[in-house]
Amino acid sequence: MAMHKMDKLLLGAAMSGNVRELEMARETPEILLGRTPQQSTCLHISLFFGHEEFSKALLGLDQSLLSCINLSGETPLLVAVKNGNVSLAYDMLKQYKELNLSDMILKQDNNGDNVLHHAIRNGHSDLALELIAAELGLSQGVNIYNESPMYIAVSRDFNDISEKLLEIPISSHVGINNKNALRAAVANGNPG
């Protein structure tokens, strides 16, 4: 499928969050499918800049944007979590589930991080727990640095998350330098 270059006005609107500029998309819906040279959509751009209202408006126009992946291997959900758009991430997670897009929830970026890695790393404990409940397979993700979500959670003393991950038999526990979550817990003085 050929990718179309993103319209400059739409790119500017996504960067600024100017919802009024989306009128052009109502007249020409295919404009929303344009891409930057990095293969990001207007939704990726809007999420990067933290424009919640604009992002919600985009999803109201075309939910297929949820399945678009940029050259960094990022889904819109991953961009939202990575950039701290927590309330929007909750809304998007619900949409992914409603549309049966589990494969998009599980997607790992070019560093091998999934949305759970980013939620834990950025300290979004409640979102991390919601992600685990929505998709148990996220617990198996291991990035290029050999870090599992459990290893990151234990390393950062997020006991509620690590306990939840321990309940999942398929959870990976590997960590950097051939360490595992248990060694990280001992190193942090975590008796649990």
Question: Are residue 96 and residue 124 in the same domain, yes or no?
Answer: no
Q: What is the pLDDT of residue 182?
A: 46
Here the CATH number for the domain that contains residue 61 is 1.25.40.20
Question: Are residue 90 and residue 136 in the same domain, yes or no?
Answer: no
Q: Domain boundary at 103, 126, 142, which?
A: 103
Phi, psi of 2 (to 5 degrees): -75, 135
Q: How far is CA 97 from the centre of its chain?
A: 14
pLDDT tens for 54-92 read 999 999 999 999 999 999 999 999 999 999 999 999 999
The more confidently predicted of residues 157 and 133 is 133
With 50 as the cut, is the pLDDT of residue 184 above it?
no
Q: Domain boundary at 103, 134, 154, which?
A: 103
Question: Are residue 133 and residue 157 in the same domain, yes or no?
Answer: yes
Question: Are residue 120 and residue 186 in the same domain, yes or no?
Answer: yes
CB atoms within 10 A of CB 167: 10
Domain count, the chain: 2
Residue 157 belongs to domain spanning? 108-192
Question: Are residue 75 and residue 97 in the same domain, yes or no?
Answer: yes
Please, which pLDDT band fits residue 48 given cuts at 50, 70 and 90? very high
The structure's pTM equals 0.89
